[in-house]
Amino acid sequence: MAHTPQTILDELKKGVFRPLYFLQGEEPFFIDEIVNYIEENALQPSERSFNQLLMYGKDNTIGNVMIQARRFPMMAQHQVVIVREAQDMADLNRGDGQELLIKYAQNPVPSTILVFAHKYKKLDGRKELPKILDKKATLVNSEKIPDYKLNEWISGYLKSQKFNANAGAIQLLADHIGNDLSRIANELEKLKISLPEGSELTKEVIHEKIGISKEFNAFEFQNALAARNLAKSIQIAQYFVANPKASNIIPNMALLFGFFVKVLLLHSNSHANDDELVRILGLRSTFVLKDYKIAKSRFNKQQTLHIIHQIRLSDGYAKGIDSGDRDTEAIYKDLILQIVRC
């Protein structure tokens, strides 16, 4: 049985470090938490120069990682090898790469702490590798927090950061940031700079310090749909309907169409590296590629094609083509359900 992120964090905080971690799943926040804790605590600061190595998936193969993992530490009990963005490793889903990792997992070097951070998706559970990792290594599944548990998670996280908050403040964070745990954590980190420990967070404090606006934009709508967040998607659509001058449906459809066409291009160019993908998608940098990759992990190629078709239909309805008695609100709601539930 795979471990939960909290179980492993609790174990790490007791000073227990295992030789091989494979962290995988849709929620990157918990993966980053574990990686960051190991990076900052597994070794003494004086030991890190020679014994801590950070590798990136797109620049390395399993073979490269194995070479580093089999080194011995210098003047320390352990060495730490961290592979960030492991999902981008070219050979991780190939037989040769998986065989190398299986062989290592069955007999890991005890003086090495090897960590794979495999974000946004899991290994194919039908193959042998995840089964071996579950038995012989420390396999951690990082699941998304369901929307109905988001307020509870925010409340617990606030307490862990020494903040008090009433229900209204928690709901405000949930409504306006949504199920983006990394962003919630980043915003609260800002509050820690400006507020003393133990401060009471109210809706007024959050509006003032974080700058949450009651207005929504088309990019937030796009992100809510890409996250399959039904409640937030409908909330934003209702704002658009009530404020047509602030956000018109026709350019919103064009934005959504362009976004999911790029997601489709990702599916069709799955073997390209990040630099090639930036060129193919016509993006400015690899930084903005992340949002498209997240959407690709949540919608397969057929679902993406279905969504593009539905957006084209909705765009036609918005322009009066075969729209029947559909008004703007109905067009938005029908499209949201087609995307979120496809």
Q: What is the DSSP string of 282-327?
A: T-S-STTHHHHHHHHHHS-HHHHHHHHHHHHHHHHHHTTSS-TT--
Contact 17, 42 (CB under 8 A): yes
Residues 6+ apart with CB under 8 A from 72: 79, 109, 111
Query: What pLDDT does residue 212 have?
Result: 62
Share of the chain above pLDDT 70, in %: 98
User: β-strand 20-25 against 138-141: which pairing, if any?
Assistant: parallel
Q: For 5-36, how does the pLDDT look when each residue is reduced to its tens digit (9 = 90+)? A: 999 999 999 999 999 999 999 999 999 999 99
Separation CA 246–CA 319 (nearest Å): 18
In tens, the pLDDT along 150-173 reads 889 999 998 988 888 888 888 888
Q: Does pLDDT of 216 surpass 80?
A: no
Question: Would you state the pLDDT for residue 215?
Answer: 66
- Is the pLDDT assigned to residue 1 strictly greater than 80? no
pTM above the 0.85 mark?
no
* Predicted pLDDT at 132: 97
Beta strands (DSSP E) in 97-159 are: 112-119, 138-141
What local confidence, expressed as pLDDT, does residue 214 receive?
54
Per-residue model confidence (pLDDT) at position 137: 97
Percent of the chain exceeding pLDDT 90 equals 59
Domains and CATH numbers, the chain: 5-141 (3.40.50.300), 147-210 (1.10.8.60), 218-340 (1.20.272.10)
pLDDT averaged over the chain? 90
DSSP tag of 173: H
Dihedral in degrees, nearest 10, Cα atoms 177, 278, 264, 324:
60
Compute the Cα dihedral for 317, 319, 322, 328 and give only its sign.
positive
Arithmetic mean of pLDDT, 89-102:
94
Quote the CA–CA distance of 216 and 332 in Å, as a whole number: 15
| CA-to-CA dists, residue 13 to 16, 259, 312, angstroms | 7, 41, 51
**Closest to 246 in 3D by CA, of 213, 219, 218:** 218
Whether the predicted pLDDT of 323 surpasses 90: no
